[in-house]
Amino acid sequence: MSYVPHTDADRAEMLAAIGVERIEDLFHDVPAAFRFPELELPEPLSEMEILAELQALSEENLDTGHFPCFLGAGAYQHYVPRIVDQIISRSEFYTAYTPYQPEISQGTLQSIFEYQSMICALTGMEVANASHYDGATSTAEAVIMALNAGRGKRKRVILSPAVHPEYRAVVRTYTQGMDLELLGDEPLRGGTGCGETRTLDELMALLDKNTACLIVQNPNFFGEIEDLAELAEKVHSVGALLVVVADPVSLGLLKAPGDEGADIVVGDGQALGNGLNYGGPYLGFFACQAKDVRKMAGRVVGQTVDVDGKRGFVLTLATREQHIRRERATSNICTNQALCALAMSIHMAALGKTGLRRLAEICYHKAHYASSRIADLDGYQVVATKPFMKEFVVRCPAPVQVINDYLIEEWGIIGGYDLGRDYPSLENHMLICVTEVIRREEIDSLVEALDAVRREVRG
Amino acid sequence: MKIDPGFKYHEEHEWVRVEGDEAVIGISDYAQDQLSDVVYVELPEVGDTFEQGDIFAVVESVKAASDVYMPVSGEILEVNEVLEDSPELVNQDPYGEAWFVRIAMADLSELDGLMDAEAYKAYLEGLDE
């Protein structure tokens, strides 16, 4: 479709049709004092001058292209192959809007269908939607879905404390005023596990007939791989749903949550196809079993045949959505992250099953190399009671902020995440992430730097 | 527009077949015609109770989701599970095979407020004007 702007004649015709003299008259209801305020903007600059100004601004940042980054905690630096940009930059994808009209959107619809299919293959589930804003949104939508599955009668939601703190915060925001009991992640006195938080066994002990769902993350926020073997059975025995928050790269190596009995699998797709982007846009993937599809939120693309028997794609199951059901809709957010989902699909297609596994293995081995070298240092302990993938926890001899400042200023290294921010019992604990983009020499530098800062701080 | 003579009708197009203290409820031919192709019926659970006028089910067609209202108050004794796999029965046989629920009526006097077949026919003619 071409873009055809209005002409002055078009505007005059429209104004005449509604009996208005000038466009300014349409703003009559805005108080005069606010109607056309002075904006006091600086004078316009040339394209060349603007570029120079923005460039100078951007160069004030330390970027991961120039500084090795050991920060993970929900957003991961993985190498995005050039082919992703090459394909998403095509204007048919880059500028496409929501494919409400299937007659003119078969390309977009097919790409979303392929994304959904790949998510199903990755998670071991039967149905996936076209994506949500981010992993936190997907997790919150999973809770809503579980509440619908429980017909609104079940009011307890059990949250593992090892689910990303921001995801748990968003779940709480989403479910405000719904009179729910959200528990499992309150800080405990004398609890076991990572700091004073509940273990999986302790979470399972909270299950009852009033439970709508239990949410775990795997690998969890601390990078640990959870043993989900018994979990599904226990959760199902009380008639609740098991929600698993997963990292797509880890699924190249770990058993698919669907095969472990998960009812809903969610997570953030940022790790594949999408860079760090200073925090967004990311995308939340969402997958469930076919029997529950009508309770799932989000857009869904379906494959069908047209009147001539030719394959076609279309947005389907629209009766779950806001614009049809209003207050009875499965969600108030009915949109998706099409471009980010496309980028993730392209990256997955480029890697393939063996490539994704290889990627996960490289991350695993590099992270373990780093952890074993750090474990050898005086003053640092690697806190790992379970196997881990690409992130692990290190108890440090000084506050994490002090160490990170030193790492940046003296060594040009971006350090890991300060767990004390979210877990009161984990002061001085750093979450270190190592992905395939980190070179061995950079890990060795980190180790040297950590040793140096310890000596500096301890004196 | 088919109207079964033996049934009573609610203004939201549900029919009631009275059987002693129990009643069987479905939606009328007019309703299924308005909806067009039914793709899904969401039914309540056995044991649920509803007041007259409460929404107890939802019928989804390709273009809309429509609420189904209790024509009389009662407790759900049975739901028609056949509709789960064959929602199209609602279009094909709305008064027979596509019954939605069987209930134990809470207040038989509510039946007096419902329309008989003649009244429902007149009601429908009024709507078409």
Residue ending a domain, choose from A347, A377, A404: A347
Residue A61 lies in a domain: no
- Asked if A294's CB is within 8 angstroms of B64's CB, the reply is no
Residue A40 lies in a domain: no
- Are A374 and A448 in the same domain? yes
On whether any CB of chain A is under 8 Å from the CB of B129, the answer is no
Q: What is the pLDDT of residue A151?
A: 84
Q: Closest-CA residue in chain B for A291?
A: B84
Residue A303 lies in a domain: yes
- Are A257 and A343 in the same domain? yes
Residue B79 lies in a domain: yes
Q: What are A's interface residues with B at a Cβ cutoff of 8 A? A: 151, 294, 319, 324-325, 328
Which residues constitute the domain of residue B17? 8-122
Residue B32 lies in a domain: yes
Instruction: Give me the mean pLDDT over the B111-120 stretch.
Output: 92
Q: What is the pLDDT of residue A215?
A: 98
Residue A303, classed as helix, strand or coil, is strand
Write down the number of H helices and E strands in chain A: 14, 13
Q: What is the pLDDT of residue A191?
A: 47
- Asked if B45's CB is within 8 angstroms of A151's CB, the reply is yes
Q: At A193, which CATH number? A: 3.40.640.10
Residue B3 lies in a domain: no
Say how far apart CA A330 and CA A258 lie, in whole Å.
22
- Asked if A319's CB is within 8 angstroms of B64's CB, the reply is yes
Amino acid at A153: K
How many CB contacts within 8 angstroms connect chain A with chain B? 17
Which residues constitute the domain of residue A169? 82-347
Characterize A48-83 residue by residue with b for buried, 16 or more Cβ atoms within 10 angstroms of its Cβ, and e for exposed: eeeeeeeeeeeeeeeeeeeebbbbbbbbbbbebeee
Best mutation target, B60, B67, B81, to test chain A (most A CBs within 10 A): B60
Q: What is the pLDDT of residue A348?
A: 97
Q: Could you tell me the end-to-end alpha-carbon distance of chain A, in angstroms, rounded to an integer?
A: 69
| Global ipTM | 0.76
Best mutation target, A319, A320, A321, to test chain B (most B CBs within 10 A): A319
- Is there a contact between A243 and A213 (Cβ–Cβ < 8 Å)? yes
- Are A263 and A121 in the same domain? yes
User: Residue length, chain B?
Assistant: 129
pLDDT tens sequence for chain A (459 residues): 688 999 999 999 999 999 999 999 999 899 988 988 888 999 999 999 999 999 999 889 888 989 999 999 999 999 999 999 999 999 999 998 888 899 999 999 999 999 999 999 999 999 999 999 999 999 999 999 999 998 888 999 999 999 999 999 999 999 999 999 999 998 766 544 455 678 889 999 999 999 999 999 999 999 999 999 899 999 999 999 999 999 999 999 999 999 999 999 999 999 999 999 988 899 999 999 998 998 898 999 999 999 999 999 999 887 777 777 777 777 777 788 999 999 999 999 999 999 999 999 999 999 999 999 999 999 999 998 899 999 999 999 999 999 999 999 999 999 999 999 999 889 999 999 999 999 999 999 999 999 999 998 876
Residue B80 lies in a domain: yes
Token pair listed for A81: 């192959």
Residue ending a domain, choose from A305, A323, A347: A347
Q: What is the pLDDT of residue A193?
A: 46
Contact residues on chain B for A325, CB-CB shorter than 8 A = 65
- Which residue among B40, B45, B65 sits closest to A325, beta carbon to beta carbon? B65
- Asked if A328's CB is within 8 angstroms of B65's CB, the reply is yes
Number of folded domains that form chain B: 1
Instruction: Give me the mean pLDDT over the B83-96 stretch.
Output: 93
- Are A336 and A357 in the same domain? no
Angle in degrees, CA A303, A308, A313, rounded to 5: 20
Q: At B50, which CATH number? A: 2.40.50.100
Number of folded domains that form chain A: 2
Surface of B (21-50) touching A: CB under 8 A: 39-40, 42, 45
User: Residue length, chain A?
Assistant: 459
- Is there a contact between A130 and A338 (Cβ–Cβ < 8 Å)? yes
Contact residues on chain A for B58, CB-CB shorter than 8 A = 328
Residue A65 lies in a domain: no
DSSP A34-75: HHS----PPPP--HHHHHHHHHHHHTTS--TTTS-B---TT-
Residue A452, classed as helix, strand or coil, is helix
The pTM for the full model equals 0.87
Residue keyed to tokens 């990170």: A404
Omega cis (within 30) before A219: yes
Taking the CA of residue B76 and the nearest CA in chain A, the distance in Å comes to: 15
Q: At A446, which CATH number? A: 3.90.1150.10
List, in order, residues 6 or more apart from A224 with CB less than 8 Å away: A162, A194, A384, A385, A386, A387, A388
- Are A262 and A360 in the same domain? no
- Which residue among B39, B65, B67 sits closest to A324, beta carbon to beta carbon? B65
Token pair listed for B29: 């031919």
- Which residue among B40, B45, B64 sits closest to A294, beta carbon to beta carbon? B40
- Are A229 and A195 in the same domain? yes
Residue ending a domain, choose from A299, A314, A347: A347
In this predicted structure, the answer to whether residue B120 has a pLDDT above a threshold of 80 is yes
Q: What is the pLDDT of residue A459?
A: 61
Q: What is the pLDDT of residue A396?
A: 96
Residue B127 lies in a domain: no
Residue B15 lies in a domain: yes
Characterize A359-377 residue by residue with b for buried, 16 or more Cβ atoms within 10 angstroms of its Cβ, and e for exposed: bbebbbebbbbbbebbeeb
- Is there a contact between B57 and B77 (Cβ–Cβ < 8 Å)? no
Residue A31 lies in a domain: no
Residue A6 lies in a domain: no
- Are A360 and A342 in the same domain? no
Residue A449 lies in a domain: yes
- Are A300 and A206 in the same domain? yes
- Are A193 and A310 in the same domain? yes
Residue A165 lies in a domain: yes
Taking the CA of residue B6 and the nearest CA in chain A, the distance in Å comes to: 33
